[in-house]
Amino acid sequence: MKPPTKTPVSSLPSTLGAKAAALPPEVALAPASSPVARYLASLVGQSVNAIDTPSLVVDLDAMRRNLMRMGDFARKHNVRWRPHAKMHKSVWIADMEIRAGAVGVCVQKTAEAEAMAAGGIRNIYISNEVVAGTKLVRVAMLAHQLAAEGGQLAIAVDSVEGINRLAVTMADVRAQFATRAVVDVFVEIDVGQGRCGVPPGQQAVVLAQEIRKHAPLRFAGLQAYHGKAQHVRSAQQRRDMIAIVADDVKYTRKLIEAEGIAPGLVTGAGTGTMVCEAASGIFDELQAGSFLFMDADYAQNERDPAQPVFDHALFVKTQVISSREDHAVCDAGHKSHAVDSGLPTVHVFDKDSELVYANGGDEHGILRPAGGGTRVPTIGKMLWLIPGHCDPTVNLHDYMIGVSGGLRNGVVERIIRVDARGALT
């Protein structure tokens, strides 16, 4: 394996694994004899009306449009993209992203990487620190496995201790399996998120040098993700924030080069700021993941003119179970959608049926007509919610129901298993 360098996107080989392509959609969703498995198996080909509530539904037409627009954007800006699979947690979707030009996927957890690898995804980056001994053994085993399949594992670090722990375990596994597998190691710098990472500058150089002391590790570049900037509403403010990030990255990269170290790649960016990183001239790889589904929170950002238009593709189908003069109650609450980035919005088919969703607890949502309207939906009415935040919403569900032909008249095209649901470790 060559060390990663900036490669024109068009020449990148597909990392698509044969195993992923062969996955039948309903396999292992639930014990085959269970009512859930029977229901799911029977659903494919049926009208959207047959979908039980509450259910997580993917508008596959919208998802495919988003995917195409992202691929076009990356090609146009000659930047690699490695979407975050922590968002969808699905091998089938990861595979589709790679077919559309992604170089592989990011994940945050070792168990997510294992789920992706088990499905045939071969190019995986754990964009997070891993320090537990038991987890590092799994990381090293995965590096070995992916290398044997012609793939590559990468990981982030932000401490000498983390590097040493990883190096020791990698050396153990290499000796045990007589392999020369190498793990790509990115040094995480904190570019404003205030979470993991060393400050931009000299400390990153120290870590790059430390990585180079260990044969099983390969310095792969810089991880520079500004999570807080993603949700800043003003496009100009986001541009200003990422301009500072780009300066920090350039400065750090120069220090690394000054030590005679090949600087590798700069990887980062989310859906909120990706146009800024793509235009910066210093970022090689975009990690944006939410663009694929778009959540209610990202929809509140002022769109940067350079940003492709991404459509909502993830919905919670819900039904009204109680109705009275001033409000109705639907069957979707905190256990159907995450509320860390705010409550869901209600998808509007007709202008005169706008509804506001209010907190009804774990299993209920309270619906009131918007803007002085009086039409309260009646018992049995089906509604579609746009979740506030995709990632933790997907993580609540064992499967998503993929629909084509629209939410009103469409049909169920496939069941999408959330392969890495609950993959926390």
Q: Give the footprint of a second copy on this chain (CB under 8 A).
A: 28, 31, 35, 52-55, 86, 108-109, 114, 128-132, 134-135, 138, 158-159, 161-162, 194-198, 227, 319-324, 327, 329, 334-336, 338-340, 359-364, 366, 379-380, 391-392, 395-398, 422, 424-425
Cis peptide before 83 (omega within 30 of 0): no
Neighbours of 131 (CB within 10 A): 12
Question: CB of 128: closest distance to a second copy in angstroms?
Answer: 7
What count of residues does the chain have? Answer: 425
| Helix ranges, 280-324 (H) | 296-299
| Helix ranges, 9-132 (H) | 18-21, 35-43, 60-76, 91-99, 110-118
Residue with tokens 């694994």: 17
Nearer to a second copy, 347 or 381 (CB): 381
Contact 255, 205 (CB under 8 A): yes
Contact 79, 383 (CB under 8 A): no
User: Nearest to residue 93, comparing CAs of 336, 337, 299, 291?
Assistant: 291
Question: CB of 75: closest distance to a second copy in angstroms?
Answer: 29
Question: CB of 2: closest distance to a second copy in angstroms?
Answer: 29
Contact 199, 205 (CB under 8 A): no
* Opening angle at CA 197, ends 153 and 390, nearest 5: 70
Nearer to a second copy, 260 or 380 (CB): 380
Question: CB of 41: closest distance to a second copy in angstroms?
Answer: 15
Question: CB of 69: closest distance to a second copy in angstroms?
Answer: 25
Question: CB of 364: closest distance to a second copy in angstroms?
Answer: 6
Contact 112, 423 (CB under 8 A): yes
Nearer to a second copy, 79 or 346 (CB): 346
Nearer to a second copy, 52 or 72 (CB): 52
Contact 116, 102 (CB under 8 A): no
Nearer to a second copy, 130 or 217 (CB): 130
The alpha carbon dihedral of 57, 62, 66, 67 has a sign of: positive
Question: CB of 251: closest distance to a second copy in angstroms?
Answer: 19
Nearer to a second copy, 84 or 253 (CB): 84
Question: CB of 51: closest distance to a second copy in angstroms?
Answer: 10
Nearer to a second copy, 86 or 218 (CB): 86
Nearer to a second copy, 345 or 393 (CB): 393
Question: CB of 275: closest distance to a second copy in angstroms?
Answer: 22
Nearer to a second copy, 15 or 336 (CB): 336
3-state secondary structure of 27: coil
Phi, psi angle pair for 186, to nearest 5°: -100, 140
Cis peptide before 54 (omega within 30 of 0): yes
Residues 409 and 386: their CA atoms lie apart, in Å, by 18
Q: Give the pairing of strands 285-286 and 265-268.
A: parallel
